[in-house]
DNA sequence: CTTTGTGCAAAGCGTTTGCACTATT
DNA sequence: AATAGTGCAAACGCTTTGCACAAAG
């Protein structure tokens, strides 16, 4: 409390890699090159991705080869560790960074599949009000607003999405 | 325009079966016993269901036997016809009545998988505001609030859900 | 009679798993 | 040395599809 670095203990800003290592150690799991390479790659910038895309990207990475199985297993661990959030979109799993990101929801363009983030304070209130009303203990929510983004709207939206499944 | 039944063309309240038949005919599709049996069964009361449950139920129905393939194909048609809405939950498709139901969203209990419906007027406003802000043309939205329902909460929530995927 | 729908079984797609081998602890 | 992780390929669960036969228009 009276440390020179008191503020640091509130504003811990460790890297995703560090957080993941901590998590692994706290669970008695091992720190492997594959796991490290994956956290680092995933947090090098791109935000929304699926396992398949990741497999492709990682395939042409310099380091150790990483198998499909390990990628799926590591993604689960990153979700457990609170570094990633998973959601289901068109029947496949999509991941996004959780660590260091403010709570948000998504606009989903059904033409180009793009995800646009937004934040709404009021949504939090709705969530609480509804939960209270139904005696429900909330752990999370997911709001996806589906439609057509500006770019695709301009393209006169020629084709219709075959299946309107959100 | 000057018909005796001008009002009827605004407030048509036909049954799901009638609507489906209209839809099929308008598309040049055929009205088959399987399709009719399915609409009727689906709109006989139960609200949220998946293809598998439907297959089981239909299996012990008196009428014509209906194959898995036909059930999947007909569900797609019912969605196209605007009678059902499909959503993805834990990686599987779940359907619910759209025809004759007011717009609503869901609380999803991750223990017992129950879906509870609720309606929020404010959510519509959020939706519009966000869309306007991003130049997005909205066609639909889906809000799922995940947590533990009253019943499961009482049972001291012993076990944790293995995968927190919404 | 033409054309679409059905049932079957096989294929597809994303994800998971069993197992022998490798590597971390 | 003991135990957990990896890669591989096979298995899985849900959904879709190709094809020959049946039936609606």
B contact residues 112-151, partner A, Cβ 8 Å cutoff: 116, 118, 120, 122-123, 125-127, 130-131, 133-150
Per-residue confidence (pLDDT) for residue A164, from 0 to 100: 45
Per-residue confidence (pLDDT) for residue B155, from 0 to 100: 72
Residue B37 CB partners (closer than 8 Å, separation 6+): B58, B61, B63, B64, B66
Q: Which of B71, B102, B133 is the last residue of a domain?
A: B102
Pairing of strands A92-97, A105-109: unpaired
- Cα separation, B109 vs A136, in Å, equals 8
A31 part of a folded domain: yes
Residue A154 — pLDDT band, cuts 50, 70, 90?
confident
Q: Which residue has the higher pLDDT, A60 or B28?
A: B28
Query: Span A94-108, mean pLDDT?
Result: 90
- Cα separation, B81 vs B98, in Å, equals 10
What angle in degrees, to the nearest 10, is found between the helix axes of A33-42 and A16-26?
A: 140
Each residue's pLDDT tens digit, A105-117 = 999 998 888 899 9
The token duo for A61 is: 């990475």
3-state secondary structure of B25: helix
Phi, psi dihedrals of residue A154, rounded to the nearest 5° = -65, -35
Instruction: Answer yes or no: do B114 and B148 share one domain.
Output: yes
A1 part of a folded domain: no
The token duo for A88 is: 């289901």
DSSP secondary-structure letter at A49?
A: B
B141 part of a folded domain: yes
Q: Which nucleotides of D are covered by protein (CB under 7 A)?
A: 4-9, 13-18, 23-25
Residue B59 vs residues A30, B44, B56, B67: alpha-carbon distances, Å: 49, 16, 5, 9
Does pLDDT of A11 surpass 50? no
Query: Span B89-116, mean pLDDT?
Result: 89
To the nearest whole angstrom, how far is the Cα of A141 from the nearest Cα of chain B?
4
Q: What is the CATH number of the domain that holds B131?
A: 3.30.1490.190
Instruction: Answer yes or no: do B32 and B113 share one domain.
Output: no
Instruction: Answer yes or no: do B166 and B89 share one domain.
Output: no
Instruction: Answer yes or no: do B17 and B93 share one domain.
Output: yes
Query: Span A140-159, mean pLDDT?
Result: 82
Residue B116 — pLDDT band, cuts 50, 70, 90?
very high
Q: Is A116 in contact with B134 (Cβ distance < 8 A)?
A: yes
B79 part of a folded domain: yes
B111 part of a folded domain: yes
Q: What is the DSSP secondary-structure string of B57-117?
A: HHHTSSS----HHHHHHHHHHHHHTTSEEEEEETTEEEEEE-TT----EEEEETTT--EEE
Query: Span A104-131, mean pLDDT?
Result: 92
Q: Which of B102, B122, B147 is the last residue of a domain?
A: B102
Residue B153 vs residues A78, B12, B17: alpha-carbon distances, Å: 27, 43, 40
Does pLDDT of B60 surpass 90? no
Instruction: Answer yes or no: do B26 and B73 share one domain.
Output: yes
Instruction: Answer yes or no: do B83 and B31 share one domain.
Output: yes
* CA-based nearest residue to A31, from A41, A19, A43: A19
Residue A7 vs residues A3, A14, A99, A137: alpha-carbon distances, Å: 9, 14, 20, 33
Instruction: Answer yes or no: do B27 and B94 share one domain.
Output: yes
- Using a pLDDT cut of 70, give the percent of chain A over it: 86
Does pLDDT of B156 surpass 60? no
Q: Which residue has the higher pLDDT, A70 or B64?
A: A70
Of chain B, the end-to-end C-alpha distance in Å amounts to 49
Nearest chain B alpha carbon to A116: B134
3-state secondary structure of A3: coil
Per-residue confidence (pLDDT) for residue A6, from 0 to 100: 41
Instruction: Answer yes or no: do A50 and A39 share one domain.
Output: yes
Contact residues on chain B for A140, CB-CB shorter than 8 A: 145-147, 164, 166
Looking across all nucleic acid strands, the nucleotide with the smallest C1' to CA distance from residue A71 is D6
Q: Which of B102, B120, B154 is the last residue of a domain?
A: B102
Q: Is A120 in contact with B130 (Cβ distance < 8 A)?
A: yes
Instruction: Answer yes or no: do A14 and A80 share one domain.
Output: yes
The answer to whether B153 touches A137, Cβ cutoff 8 Å, is yes
B150 part of a folded domain: yes
Instruction: Answer yes or no: do A19 and A71 share one domain.
Output: yes
Instruction: Answer yes or no: do B70 and B98 share one domain.
Output: yes
Each residue's pLDDT tens digit, B2-17 = 444 444 443 456 899 9
Domain range for residue A128? 103-166
A3 part of a folded domain: no
A63 part of a folded domain: yes
Instruction: Answer yes or no: do B98 and B127 share one domain.
Output: no
Does pLDDT of A137 surpass 70? yes
Q: What's this model's pTM, rounded to 2 decimal places?
A: 0.79
What total number of domains does chain A contain? Answer: 2
Alpha-carbon B18 to chain mean position: 18
* CA-based nearest residue to B146, from A127, A126, A89: A127
Residue B133 — pLDDT band, cuts 50, 70, 90?
very high
Residue A13 — pLDDT band, cuts 50, 70, 90?
low
Q: What is the CATH number of the domain that holds A85?
A: 1.10.10.10
């Amino acid at each position: 409390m009276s440390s020179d670095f008191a503020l640091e203990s509130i504003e811990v800003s460790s890297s995703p890699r560090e957080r993941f290592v901590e998590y692994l150690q706290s669970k008695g799991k091992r720190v492997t090159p594959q796991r490290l390479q994956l956290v680092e790659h995933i947090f090098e910038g791109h935000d929304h991705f699926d396992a398949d895309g990741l497999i492709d990207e990682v395939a042409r990475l310099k380091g150790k080869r990483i198998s499909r199985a390990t990628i799926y297993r590591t993604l689960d661990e990153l979700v457990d560790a609170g570094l990633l959030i998973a959601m289901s979109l068109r029947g496949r799993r999509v991941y996004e960074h959780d660590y260091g990101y403010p709570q948000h929801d998504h606009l989903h363009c059904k033409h180009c599949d793009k995800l646009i983030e937004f934040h709404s304070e009021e949504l939090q209130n709705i969530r609480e009000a509804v939960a209270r009303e139904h005696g429900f203990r909330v752990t999370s929510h997911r709001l996806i607003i589906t439609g057509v983004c500006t770019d695709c709207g301009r393209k006169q939206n020629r084709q219709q999405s075959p299946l309107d499944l959100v």
